[in-house]
Chains A and B, each alone.
Chain A
Amino acid sequence: MAVSAAKAAPTSDSQPAPEAAPETGVSSASGALEFTKEEELHAHREMLLIRRFEEKAGQLYGMGLIGGFCHLYIGQEAVVIGMQMAVEPGDQVITGYRDHGHMLACEMDPKGVMAELTGRRGGYSKGKGGSMHMFSVEKQFYGGHGIVGAQVSLGTGLAFANRYKKNGKVSLVYFGDGASNQGQVYESFNMAKLWKLPVVYVIENNKYGMGTSVERASSNTNLSQRGASFDIPGEQVDGMDVRAVKAAGARAIAHAREGKGPYILEMVTYRYRGHSMSDPAKYRSKDEVQKMRETHDPIEQVRARLIKAGLATEDELKAVDKEVRDIVNAAAEFATNDPEPDPSELWTDILR
C-alpha cells in the first residue's frame, strides 16, 4: 500500500500486472499464491462461462435482440471470479453497469440474465430492468446500477445493515476507475471508516472511463490510495491473475469481517471490448488490446498452467468449453424465445 506504487500505476500501453505493486507482494505469482487443481479448474470454468456469455451477448446485440446499453466484461473475468472464491455464503455483491460477469459469478442463472438482456418476461427483472438493472435477493446480488458511483454509497449501506444486524457478512462493492472520482465515493469512504463497516471496495481499474484514460481523468492514478485520507488500507492487485485476486480478496474480506472496517483493492485489469457495444474504442490502439490479450489474458493464464502442470489435458479443457458453450447457447435460446412481458406488467412493481 505504499504510495510509491504510483510509479507502477498502469498506463495505457504498460502491462498491467507484474509491475503493478511489487511493494504489496501481491501481484507476483509466487508460490504462496498457487491454486490447488480444483481451484484452477473452478476458476477456469467460471471465467470461461463469463467470457462465452459475454461473447454471446455481443452477438445477440449485433442481431438486434439486445437493445440499449450493453457493457461487456470480457478481459476482466479474473476480478470477480477471484473475489467470489474468497467470500463466504451470504456476503453481498453490488456493482455498476458492467454487471453480467458479477451476476454469473454470484451463481445467478445465465438464462435469467440473458433473458433480461433481451427484455423478456423470464429475465431477472421480468424484462423491466435491462442490462444495467438486475438483482437477486436469493443470491445476495444487489445490482446492477446505472448511475456511476451510486453503488458505492448503496454498498456501504449494505455493510451498514450487516453491522446493524450483526450478521458477520461483508459487502463487496465494485466500481471502476471512472467512478473512483465521484464525490459520493469519498462521502461513503468516510462513513465506512468512521463506523468501521464491513465493506471491501473493489476498484476495477480497466484503464478507461469510457474513452478517457485514467491518466487523463485522475490526478493520482494509484487508485488503491484513494482511501488514504480516511486511513483505509489499500492494495494494487494484478487483476488479470485470478490467484492474486483471490489472495488479496481473502485478506481484505478477513480485515472487514474482523471488524477493522473497510479495505480497498485496486484491481489492475483491462477490458478488451469498447465501453459499450456502440463504442468503437478509437482512443486506444489495436496493438494495445492485442498485446494484452496475448500476454495477460486471465483465462489463458490458468489454461496454460493447467496444461503445463499436467493438471488437465487439452481434451478435458475442450470439454469444459463445450459444456460452457452449451449453457450459454441454452441461455441465448431461452432469451430469444421467451415472450416479452405481458403489457399489464407496465403497471406493476411501482409500489408494493
Chain B
Amino acid sequence: MPIEVLMPALSPTMEAGKLAKWLKKEGDAVKSGDVIAEIETDKATMEVEAVDEGVLGKILIADGSEDVKVNTPIALILADGEDESALKNGASTPAGDAQPKPDAAPAAGEPKTGGEAAAKRADEGAAKDASGGKQPTGDAKATGSAAANPPAPEVLPEPDVPEGTEMVMTTVRDALRDAMLEEMRADERVFLMGEEVAEYQGAYKVSQGLLEEFGAERVIDTPITEHGFAGVGVGAALAGLKPIVEFMTFNFAMQAIDQIINSAAKTLYMSGGQMGCSIVFRGANGAAARVGAQHSQDYAAWYSNVPGLTVLAPYTAADAKGLLKAAIRDNNTVIFLENEILYGQQFPVPKLDDYVVPIGKAKIARPGKDVTIVAWSIGMTYALKAAEELAKDGVDAEVIDLRTIRPMDTDTIIESVKKTGRLVTVEEGWAQSGVGAEISARVMERAFDWLDAPVTRVSGKDVPMPYAANLEKLALPSVAEVVEAAKAVCYRT
C-alpha cells in the first residue's frame, strides 16, 4: 500500500491552506526529513517534510491549489518494493479519509503518515503556532461546538450602511489589518508596536503588509518585554502620539497590566483632565485551541472592571474593522480583544471608504421573541448556532452581539429582555465576577419585573484550561449548553 501524505495542520486553528509548490516531482526518491512541498496558510508559508522513505509515486494535489483542507491526501509515496501498479489500489482509498474523522478526536488531525509540518521559522510566533499543530479540525464539528465551524454569518447589517453597498467577504484578520492601514494613512500619530508585528508580519499575520507601507519608524518590532513596551507605548501616548500596542495574546499582557491600568487608564483622572492617554491595546484574547491554561484565558471581565478603560470584543469582520477604527480614533485607552479562532473566518464587510462602528452600541444579530441570548466575540458562534437549534424546536431566540463590554449598552439588553422575559449570557471566561454576572446584575436592577425566569449564565468552567482535547471541550461553553440554558429559562425540555 502506498503511503498517503496528508495536508498538515500548521497551527491550532488552521483548517485549510494553499499547496504553493512541490519541491519533488513524481518518481523522485524521498527520505525522511526531505522537504517535499511548501504550503501557505493565511499566516505563513511552511515546508512539508517527508517522514517516510520511498519514491514519490503520485502527486494528488497540484501546485498552486487553493483551499486544500487539512488531512486531504496530497501525494502518495511508494514504499520499497512497490511500483506504480500499487497506486491504482492506493489511490482509490483516500477519498473517504479526506474528510477529518469526526469522532476520532486526537487521531483525526494527526497526519496518518507522510506529511509533517516543519516549523522552519523557529521563532516565537511560528513555534507557538506549530506547537499545537495537531489540533483536530474535524473534532469541533462532530461535537457541535461552533468554534471551529461557525454558522454562516446571517448577522444583520449595520443600520447605517447605505442600501446597495457592496459587501466583500473578508477575514477578521484582514479586516483588522485594513482598519490599521486606513487609520495609519489618515493620521501620522498612529503607529503599531509589538512582538513580531513588522518583519514577521504579525505572529497571526494581522499586521501583514504594514511594514512595507509605513516603514520601520511606524511599525515597530519590540523585544519580548510586555511590561516595558506597554509602558513605552503609554509614555508615547502621554506625549501625544496614538500607539497601537499589539500583545501577541492578552495572556502576556498580565505582565503589562500595571501600565495599562495604573498609567494608561487613570492618568486622565489623576491629572484633572489635563493629560490623557489615547492608545489601543489589542491582540488575541481567550482560548485558542489546545494551548493549555497559561495561553487560554479570557480577560474581558478583568479589563471591564476598570473605569478609564473602553473594552471592545467584536465578533464579525465588519465589527472588527469598524470598531478598531473607532478605537484608534478614540481619545482614551481602549482594550481591543480579538480571538485567534475568529481571525481566519470570513464575514461580509461593507465596501465603504470609511466604515466606523460606534463604541458602546450592541447589535441585535438575530431578532427573536422568546429568549434573549447575549454574547460577544467567539461567544457569538455558540449563540447563533444555538439559536438555529432552538428554532427547530420552536423557540425563537433573540441574539444580541454586545461588541462593547465597557461602556456596556445595557439599554439594548433591557429592551430585549422586556420583550422576551428571559436571558441567557454566553462567555468563554469564568463565571465568577464575569461579564455575564454583570449583565445579570444590571438586568435584575432594571428589569426585575419583566423577568419570567432567573438569568442563566453559560460560561467557561471554573478550572484552568486543560490541554487534553476532550477536557478542553468540556471546559468551554458549548452550543448544547446554550440550547439547554435557553430551554430551561423558557421552561421547555
Contact = CB atoms under 8 A, between A and B. Distances in A.
Contact of B273 (A142, A145, A352): A352
Given A143-B271, A147-B262, A350-B307, A187 B225 contact: yes
Nearest to B233: A157
Interface string A339-352: 00000000011111
A154 B273 CA distance: 18
B229 A142 contact: no
B332 interface: yes
Contacts of A146: 262
B229 A191 contact: yes
A55 B223 CA distance: 44
| Closest 7 pairs (CB-CB, A-B) | A157-B235, A153-B231, A187-B228, A126-B272, A161-B239, A187-B225, A154-B235
Interface stretch (A44-52, A127-135, A264-272): A127-135
A81 B225 CA distance: 33
B269 interface: yes
B339 interface: no
B239 A92 contact: yes
A63 interface: no
Interface of A: 92, 94, 123-129, 133-137, 142-147, 150, 152-162, 164-165, 183-184, 186-188, 190-191, 194, 348-352
A188 B228 contact: yes
Nearest to A346: B269
Contact of A191 (B222, B258, B274): B222
Given A128-B269, A146-B262, A352-B331, A184 B227 contact: yes
Contacts of B227: 153, 183-184, 187
Given A150-B263, A191-B225, A155 B235 contact: yes
B238 interface: yes
A224 to B, nearest CB: 21
A239 B175 CA distance: 54
A143 B269 CA distance: 13
Contacts of B307: 350
A135 B275 contact: yes
B310 A351 contact: yes
Given A142-B275, A143-B270, A191-B225, 20 more contacts: A94-B235, A124-B271, A126-B273, A127-B272, A135-B275, A137-B274, A142-B238, A153-B234, A154-B231, A156-B232, A159-B235, A160-B241, A164-B191, A164-B241, A186-B228, A190-B225, A190-B228, A349-B269, A352-B331, A352-B332
Nearest to B330: A351
B71 to A, nearest CB: 42
Contacts, number: 147
A135 B269 CA distance: 11
**Max chain A C-beta neighbours (<10 A), residue from B191, B237, B268, B310:** B268
Contact of B274 (A92, A124, A187, A350): A124
B308 interface: yes
B235 A124 contact: no
A134 B269 CA distance: 10
A157 B231 contact: yes
A335 to B, nearest CB: 15
B240 interface: yes
Given A155-B235, A164-B241, A188-B232, A150 B258 contact: yes
Contacts of B331: 351-352
Interface in B195-248: 217, 222-223, 225, 227-241
A188 B275 contact: no
Contacts of A348: 273
